[in-house]
Amino acid sequence: MELSSILKPEAVKVFGTLSSKKRLFQDLAEIAASVYGLNASDAVDALQERESLGPTGVGHGVALPHARLEGLDTVVGVFLRLEKPLDFDSVDRQPVDLVFALFAPKDSGVHHLKALALVSRTLRDATICGKLRANSDPAALHAVLTEAPASQAA
C-alpha triplet 110, 112, 117: angle, nearest 5°: 90
Range 95-100, long-range pairs (CB < 8 A, 24+ positions):
95/61, 96/57, 96/61, 96/62, 96/63, 97/61, 97/133, 98/61, 98/62, 98/63, 98/123, 98/129, 98/132, 98/133, 99/24, 99/28, 99/62, 99/63, 99/64, 99/65, 100/62, 100/63, 100/64, 100/145
- Residues forming the active site: 66
